Amino acid sequence: MPILGIVASSYRALTITGAMEPIAVTTVPSGGLSSVTFGSIPQTYTHLQLRILGRTNRNLFRDFMGLNFNADTGNNYSYHSLGGNGTTATTGSIGSFNEFQIGFLAGATANNANGFGNIIIDILDYANTNKNTTIRSLGGYDDNGQGEIGIVSGLWINTTAVTQIDITPGSGTLFSQYSSFALYGIKGA
Protein backbone atom coordinates (compact mmCIF):
# COMPACT_ATOMS: atom_id res chain seq x y z
CA MET A 1 0.00 0.00 0.00
CA PRO A 2 1.59 3.29 -1.05
CA ILE A 3 2.19 6.02 1.45
CA LEU A 4 0.10 9.11 0.68
CA GLY A 5 3.13 11.41 0.67
CA ILE A 6 4.75 9.33 -2.07
CA VAL A 7 1.58 9.43 -4.17
CA ALA A 8 1.28 13.17 -3.71
CA SER A 9 4.92 13.79 -4.65
CA SER A 10 4.51 11.81 -7.88
CA TYR A 11 1.54 13.94 -9.00
CA ARG A 12 2.11 15.86 -12.22
CA ALA A 13 -0.03 18.75 -13.35
CA LEU A 14 -2.42 17.74 -16.10
CA THR A 15 -2.75 19.78 -19.26
CA ILE A 16 -6.42 20.27 -19.98
CA THR A 17 -7.23 20.34 -23.67
CA GLY A 18 -10.45 21.71 -25.00
CA ALA A 19 -10.61 24.24 -22.16
CA MET A 20 -12.42 27.54 -22.69
CA GLU A 21 -10.88 30.87 -21.82
CA PRO A 22 -12.78 34.17 -21.67
CA ILE A 23 -11.60 36.73 -24.23
CA ALA A 24 -14.07 39.62 -23.81
CA VAL A 25 -17.53 40.48 -22.45
CA THR A 26 -19.87 43.34 -23.37
CA THR A 27 -22.93 44.17 -21.28
CA VAL A 28 -25.37 46.65 -22.81
CA PRO A 29 -25.78 49.83 -20.75
CA SER A 30 -28.85 51.97 -20.21
CA GLY A 31 -30.04 53.37 -23.54
CA GLY A 32 -29.04 50.26 -25.50
CA LEU A 33 -26.41 49.58 -28.17
CA SER A 34 -26.87 49.46 -31.94
CA SER A 35 -24.07 46.91 -32.35
CA VAL A 36 -21.42 44.94 -30.48
CA THR A 37 -17.94 44.40 -31.91
CA PHE A 38 -15.19 42.08 -30.76
CA GLY A 39 -11.98 43.18 -32.51
CA SER A 40 -8.33 42.12 -32.44
CA ILE A 41 -9.34 38.54 -31.68
CA PRO A 42 -6.25 36.48 -30.69
CA GLN A 43 -5.34 33.79 -33.21
CA THR A 44 -4.18 31.36 -30.52
CA TYR A 45 -7.28 29.19 -30.14
CA THR A 46 -8.74 26.37 -32.21
CA HIS A 47 -12.36 27.58 -32.03
CA LEU A 48 -14.36 30.51 -30.67
CA GLN A 49 -17.67 30.51 -28.85
CA LEU A 50 -20.11 33.40 -28.42
CA ARG A 51 -22.62 33.24 -25.56
CA ILE A 52 -25.41 35.76 -25.84
CA LEU A 53 -28.22 36.75 -23.50
CA GLY A 54 -30.19 39.31 -25.46
CA ARG A 55 -33.25 41.34 -26.18
CA THR A 56 -33.89 44.01 -28.83
CA ASN A 57 -36.22 46.97 -29.20
CA ARG A 58 -37.99 45.43 -32.22
CA ASN A 59 -41.71 46.16 -31.95
CA LEU A 60 -42.58 42.47 -32.08
CA PHE A 61 -42.37 39.49 -29.74
CA ARG A 62 -39.06 38.24 -31.18
CA ASP A 63 -36.04 39.26 -33.19
CA PHE A 64 -32.93 37.65 -34.60
CA MET A 65 -29.43 39.07 -34.76
CA GLY A 66 -27.00 39.63 -37.59
CA LEU A 67 -23.41 38.37 -37.44
CA ASN A 68 -20.51 39.45 -39.67
CA PHE A 69 -16.82 38.60 -39.69
CA ASN A 70 -14.02 41.11 -40.37
CA ALA A 71 -16.54 43.84 -41.32
CA ASP A 72 -17.42 41.80 -44.44
CA THR A 73 -20.90 42.80 -45.62
CA GLY A 74 -20.62 41.20 -49.05
CA ASN A 75 -22.84 38.28 -50.06
CA ASN A 76 -20.39 35.77 -48.57
CA TYR A 77 -22.61 34.09 -45.99
CA SER A 78 -24.56 30.89 -46.55
CA TYR A 79 -26.64 29.09 -43.93
CA HIS A 80 -29.41 26.66 -43.05
CA SER A 81 -31.85 27.05 -40.18
CA LEU A 82 -34.39 24.95 -38.33
CA GLY A 83 -36.79 26.38 -35.77
CA GLY A 84 -39.83 25.46 -33.79
CA ASN A 85 -42.31 26.70 -31.21
CA GLY A 86 -43.75 23.44 -29.90
CA THR A 87 -46.47 23.41 -32.54
CA THR A 88 -44.91 24.39 -35.85
CA ALA A 89 -41.48 23.69 -37.31
CA THR A 90 -39.84 26.05 -39.77
CA THR A 91 -36.84 25.62 -42.04
CA GLY A 92 -34.87 27.95 -44.19
CA SER A 93 -31.72 28.34 -46.20
CA ILE A 94 -29.84 31.24 -47.72
CA GLY A 95 -27.23 30.60 -50.39
CA SER A 96 -25.71 34.05 -50.60
CA PHE A 97 -26.39 36.81 -48.07
CA ASN A 98 -24.62 39.78 -46.48
CA GLU A 99 -24.67 38.37 -42.90
CA PHE A 100 -25.59 35.35 -40.82
CA GLN A 101 -29.09 35.79 -39.38
CA ILE A 102 -29.19 33.95 -36.08
CA GLY A 103 -32.00 33.89 -33.52
CA PHE A 104 -34.07 33.98 -31.50
CA LEU A 105 -33.97 36.92 -29.07
CA ALA A 106 -36.94 38.42 -27.27
CA GLY A 107 -38.42 41.56 -28.83
CA ALA A 108 -39.91 44.63 -27.17
CA THR A 109 -43.50 43.35 -27.21
CA ALA A 110 -42.78 39.86 -25.86
CA ASN A 111 -45.38 38.62 -23.36
CA ASN A 112 -42.56 38.16 -20.88
CA ALA A 113 -41.68 41.85 -20.40
CA ASN A 114 -38.37 41.02 -18.74
CA GLY A 115 -37.47 38.00 -20.86
CA PHE A 116 -34.27 37.55 -22.82
CA GLY A 117 -33.22 35.07 -25.48
CA ASN A 118 -30.11 32.91 -25.28
CA ILE A 119 -27.84 31.95 -28.17
CA ILE A 120 -24.62 29.94 -28.22
CA ILE A 121 -22.57 30.18 -31.42
CA ASP A 122 -19.51 28.04 -32.18
CA ILE A 123 -17.11 29.51 -34.73
CA LEU A 124 -15.04 26.56 -35.88
CA ASP A 125 -11.40 26.72 -37.02
CA TYR A 126 -11.65 30.52 -37.14
CA ALA A 127 -7.88 31.03 -37.62
CA ASN A 128 -7.42 28.36 -40.32
CA THR A 129 -6.64 30.14 -43.61
CA ASN A 130 -6.83 26.91 -45.63
CA LYS A 131 -10.62 26.65 -45.55
CA ASN A 132 -13.82 28.66 -45.20
CA THR A 133 -15.07 29.33 -41.66
CA THR A 134 -18.11 27.42 -40.43
CA ILE A 135 -20.49 28.17 -37.57
CA ARG A 136 -23.22 26.38 -35.65
CA SER A 137 -25.65 27.90 -33.20
CA LEU A 138 -28.45 26.98 -30.85
CA GLY A 139 -30.74 29.59 -29.37
CA GLY A 140 -34.19 30.44 -28.18
CA TYR A 141 -36.38 32.38 -25.82
CA ASP A 142 -39.38 31.72 -23.61
CA ASP A 143 -42.39 33.99 -23.96
CA ASN A 144 -44.56 32.68 -21.15
CA GLY A 145 -44.77 29.28 -22.79
CA GLN A 146 -44.97 30.63 -26.34
CA GLY A 147 -41.26 30.87 -27.14
CA GLU A 148 -39.21 29.48 -29.97
CA ILE A 149 -35.95 27.63 -30.45
CA GLY A 150 -33.71 27.54 -33.49
CA ILE A 151 -30.49 26.01 -34.79
CA VAL A 152 -28.31 27.39 -37.58
CA SER A 153 -25.35 25.99 -39.48
CA GLY A 154 -23.46 28.36 -41.69
CA LEU A 155 -20.47 29.01 -43.90
CA TRP A 156 -18.50 32.23 -44.34
CA ILE A 157 -17.19 31.90 -47.87
CA ASN A 158 -13.78 33.38 -47.14
CA THR A 159 -10.48 31.79 -46.10
CA THR A 160 -9.27 34.81 -44.14
CA ALA A 161 -8.77 34.25 -40.41
CA VAL A 162 -11.55 35.77 -38.29
CA THR A 163 -10.11 38.77 -36.42
CA GLN A 164 -13.32 40.73 -35.80
CA ILE A 165 -16.95 39.84 -35.04
CA ASP A 166 -19.77 42.37 -35.50
CA ILE A 167 -23.21 41.69 -34.02
CA THR A 168 -26.32 43.76 -34.82
CA PRO A 169 -30.05 43.47 -34.05
CA GLY A 170 -31.95 41.83 -36.89
CA SER A 171 -34.99 44.05 -37.31
CA GLY A 172 -34.75 46.18 -34.19
CA THR A 173 -32.32 49.07 -33.97
CA LEU A 174 -30.90 48.49 -30.47
CA PHE A 175 -29.90 45.70 -28.15
CA SER A 176 -31.72 46.35 -24.85
CA GLN A 177 -30.08 47.17 -21.55
CA TYR A 178 -28.60 44.17 -19.70
CA SER A 179 -28.08 42.16 -22.89
CA SER A 180 -24.74 40.39 -22.55
CA PHE A 181 -22.26 39.16 -25.17
CA ALA A 182 -19.33 36.95 -24.10
CA LEU A 183 -16.56 35.68 -26.39
CA TYR A 184 -14.54 32.61 -25.42
CA GLY A 185 -11.55 30.91 -26.98
CA ILE A 186 -11.47 27.10 -27.06
CA LYS A 187 -8.08 25.42 -26.93
CA GLY A 188 -7.42 22.41 -29.11
CA ALA A 189 -5.78 19.10 -28.35
Which pLDDT score is estimated for 11?
Answer: 43
Separation between Cα atoms, residue 154 and residue 173, nearest integer Å: 24
Domains within the chain, CATH numbers bracketed = 18-186 (2.60.120)
* Between 119 and 18, residue with greater pLDDT: 119
Mean pLDDT calculated for residue range 144-150: 85
- Residue % of the chain over a pLDDT of 90: 71
**Residue 69 three-state SS:** strand
From residue 103, how far is each of 11, 76, 109, 125, 153 by CA, in Å? 46, 19, 16, 22, 12
The pLDDT tens digits for 75-107 are: 999 999 999 988 999 999 999 999 999 988 888
Which pLDDT score is estimated for 9?
Answer: 44
Separation between Cα atoms, residue 144 and residue 115, nearest integer Å: 9
Q: Which amino acid is at 96?
A: S
The pLDDT tens digits for 102-138 are: 988 888 887 777 889 999 999 999 999 999 999 999 9
Q: What is the SS3 string spanning 118-131? A: EEEEEEECCCCCCC
> Phi and psi at residue 108, in whole multiples of 5°?
-65, -30
* Between 11 and 35, residue with greater pLDDT: 35
Which pLDDT score is estimated for 79?
Answer: 95
115 closest CA partner among 63, 172, 181: 63
What strands lie across the sheet with 20-27, from one edge to the other?
Answer: 20-27, 180-186, 47-54, 117-124, 133-141, 148-156, 77-84, 89-97
